[in-house]
Amino acid sequence: MEKKPVLLTVDDDLQVLGAIDRDLRTEFRRDYRVLRASSGAEALDTLRELKRREEPLALILADQRMPGMEGVELLEQARTIYPDAKRVLLTAYADTEAAIRAINNARLDHYLMKPWDPPQQLLYPTLHDLLNAWQAQHRPRFQGVRLIGFQWSPLSHDLKDLLAGYLVAFQWLDFETNPEAKLLLATTGFTAADLPVVVNAEGQALAHPDRTALLEQLGLTAQPAEALYDVVVVGAGPSGLASAVYGASEGLKTLIIERQTPGGQAGTSSRIENYLGFPTGLSGAELAHRAWAQAVRLGAEFLPEEVTGICVQDGYKVLTLSSGTEVRTRAVVLTTGVSYRKLDVPGIDQLSGAGVYYGAARTEARSCDQQDVYIVGGGNSAGQAAMYLASYARRVFIVIRGASLAASMSAYLIEQLAQTANVEILPGSQVTAVRGQDHLEEVVLDNHGQAEVRPARALFVFIGARPSTEWLCHTVLCDGKGYLLTGRDLVTDPRYPTAWKHNREPYLLETCVPGIFAAGDSRAGAMARVASAVGEGSMAIKFVHQYLDE
C-alpha cells in the first residue's frame, strides 16, 4: 500500500511553523502526513529523501521571507523534484505584489496571507481545492486502473483520453518500454496482439475495449433510469453542466447525455485563467469534474451515450440513442458544443492519434519530454496548450498564418508565452504536410514562402471549430454554418420568414421547436467563452420552467 501523501510546511519562524503545522494536522492528518522544515535547505533535503523513498508529495507551503533562501526560490526548486505537487506561498500583506508576480513567473498555485485565522475560512477551503485538484491528477503506484498499450496506437490514445476525461486515476504502461507492462499482461491471459488492455483495480481485464464496455466496468450507467424526464440536456460542456446543475437543484427530473467526456472543448484546456472566481486558474478537466459532481449530487442523472435523433410525439420530445434506446422528455436543452476542424494536409489521416492530436491532448504531454512539438492555431486554447506543454517539451512552436497573436488570443496569454523561454511563435507560417512511418516524425512548414522540414514529436491542432449539429439540422433550424437559431432570430431574420409558426414569441434560447432550447457554442450568436456558456446554460432552465408552466 502506498503511504499517505505528504504536506510539507516550511518557515524559519518556529512559532509560525508550529501554528501552521498544528492547523494542517487538525484538518488533514486523516488523509495526509504533515512534515515541517525550518529552512529552505532543510526542506530540499526532505524533498530529496521523500523522492528517494518514492513517497508522494501533495503540497508544499513555504513562507516568503526566510534567510538564505526565500520562499519563491524554494518553491521553484521544489518543482524540479516534484513537478506535480501543489506549491503555495505564505506571505505578509506587504509582499502581496511579489506573491502575485510569483504566480505568473514561477507558476505557483496560490498564495496565502498571514495571519490565516480562522483557518476554517482563510486556510482550509483553499487547501482543500488544491488537494482535490492534485488528487484528480495523482497516479498512485499499483492502485486503480492500469492501461497497457503501444505509445503510437490511436486506440491507446483514445482510451487514455477517455479515462482522463472522466478523471479516472490510471497508470499508463507502454508495452515497448516498460517491463512492468509485460509482467502485468502475462497475468491477464492476453498477449501483445490483444493490446490495448485495461486492467481495473480488482484485476479484471478488457482487451480492445469499446467505450460502452469500459464505462460499464467503471460503474457508469448505460441505461436511463426513468421513463419520462422533465428536461434532458444533450452535451456536458460548461453550458450543459450548468443546465444540469440548475435543473436538478430546482426540482426538475434531469438527465444529461454526453457522447464523449464531461467538459466538452473547454474540458481539454490545460489551464483556464480568466474564469471568474479562480485567480490562479484551473484546468478545464477540474472545472468539468466539479460541475459534474455538483450536478450528480443535486440529483441529475448522467448517461454516457450518443444521441442520434430527436422528434416530437404527442407533445413529448423523443431522443434516440446510438444503442437504439429511446428517451422521452418534456423539454430539451441542446448544448452540443463544437469540435475542432481537421487539418487537411498530406499524411494527416494516417498519423491522427499517433503524434497528431486535435485539442490539448493532455495525456500525451509527458511523452513529449525534451522533444520538439508544434501547435497549429492562435486562439486561447492553443496558448493554454503551449504553456502546459512547455513544462515538458524541449521547444514548443506555435504556427500561425497571421503576423501576430494579438487578434485571436487574450493579452494575458500572449504575455505569458513571451516570458516562456522554450516557446517560439512562427508567424506567416502553415503546416503543409506531416511525415512518419507508424508515428509522426516530421512536419513540413511553409514559412513565409520557404519550405522547411523539421523533426517533430507531436503536432497539436487548434484551427477553428464547427458546430456538432449534423444530426439536428433536419429537426431544428440551423444557419448556413450549422449553428442553431434561437429566440428573436426566428421572427426577425428575413432569411427565415416561416421559422416560427406558433402564437407566442419564442423564448430567448428557444429553437423553432417549442420546448427545445439551445445554449453554448453551438447556438448562433453565442460567445466562445466559458463564462457565457455557463450563463446560457443556467438561463435555459428558466425558459424550460416557463415552457413547462404553459
Same domain, 127 and 22: yes
Residue 139 has pLDDT above 80, yes or no: no
Q: Is 102 within the bounds of a domain? A: yes
| Count of structural domains, the chain | 4
Cell for 274?
480568466
Same domain, 367 and 440: yes
Q: Is 292 within the bounds of a domain? A: yes
Q: What is the pLDDT of residue 142?
A: 57
Same domain, 190 and 308: no
Q: What is the pLDDT of residue 2?
A: 60
The average confidence (pLDDT) of the chain is 90
Q: What is the pLDDT of residue 106?
A: 65
User: Of 209, 159, 133, 167, nearest to 296 (Cα)?
Assistant: 167
Average pLDDT of the segment spanning 103-121: 82
CA–CA separation, 268 and 285 (whole Å)? 6
Length of the chain: 550
Same domain, 22 and 126: yes
Q: Is 484 within the bounds of a domain? A: yes
- Percent of the residues in the chain that have a pLDDT greater than 90, as a whole number: 62
Cβ-based burial of 266 (10 A; exposed 0-12, middle 13-18, buried ≥19) = buried
Chain-centroid distance, C-alpha 351 = 23
With residue 356 as reference, give the H or E element that holds it: strand 356-358
Same domain, 540 and 472: yes
User: How crowded is residue 431: how many other Cβ atoms within 10 Å of its Cβ?
Assistant: 22
Cβ-based burial of 492 (10 A; exposed 0-12, middle 13-18, buried ≥19) = exposed
Owning domain of residue 55: 6-137
- The domain boundary, picked from 119, 137, 155, lies at 137
Q: What is the pLDDT of residue 110?
A: 85
Beta 170-174 vs 197-199: how paired, if at all?
Answer: unpaired
Q: What is the pLDDT of residue 245?
A: 98
Cell for 382?
492553443
What is the CATH classification number for the domain harbouring 110? 3.40.50.2300
Average pLDDT of the segment spanning 152-170: 87
CA–CA separation, 152 and 384 (whole Å)? 24
Cell for 345?
494536409
CA–CA separation, 148 and 136 (whole Å)? 20
Q: What is the pLDDT of residue 341?
A: 87
Q: Is 222 within the bounds of a domain? A: no
With residue 530 as reference, give the H or E element that holds it: helix 530-548
**271 vs 237, which has greater pLDDT?**
237
Residue 103 has pLDDT above 80, yes or no: no
Q: How does DSSP assign 47-86, residue by residue?
A: HHHHHHTT--EEEEEEES--SSS-HHHHHHHHHHH-TTSE
CA–CA separation, 51 and 34 (whole Å)? 16
Confidence of residue 94 (pLDDT cuts 50, 70, 90): low
For residue 454, the SS3 value is strand
Average pLDDT of the segment spanning 278-291: 86
Phi first, then psi, for residue 37 (nearest 5°) are: -140, 150
- The domain boundary, picked from 112, 137, 162, lies at 137
Radius of gyration of the chain (CA): 25
Are 38 and 89 in contact, with CB atoms under 8 Å apart? Answer: no
Residue 117 has pLDDT above 90, yes or no: no
Q: Which residues contact 120 (CB under 8 A, 6 or more apart)?
A: none
Q: What is the pLDDT of residue 276?
A: 87
Confidence of residue 306 (pLDDT cuts 50, 70, 90): very high
- The domain boundary, picked from 416, 441, 463, lies at 463
Average pLDDT of the segment spanning 397-419: 93
Same domain, 261 and 330: yes
Residue 486 has pLDDT above 80, yes or no: yes
Q: What is the pLDDT of residues 177-203, one digit of tens each?
A: 988 898 889 889 999 999 999 998 788
**2 vs 23, which has greater pLDDT?**
23
Q: Among the residues of 259-304, which ranges form H helices?
A: 284-297
On the CB side of 250, how many CA atoms lie within 13 Å of its CA?
A: 16
Q: Which residues contact 544 (CB under 8 A, 6 or more apart)?
A: 230, 231, 247, 252, 331, 333, 515, 517
- Peptide bond preceding 196 in cis form (omega within 30 of 0): yes
Q: What is the pLDDT of residue 140?
A: 64
Chain-centroid distance, C-alpha 258 = 15
Residue 175 has pLDDT above 90, yes or no: yes
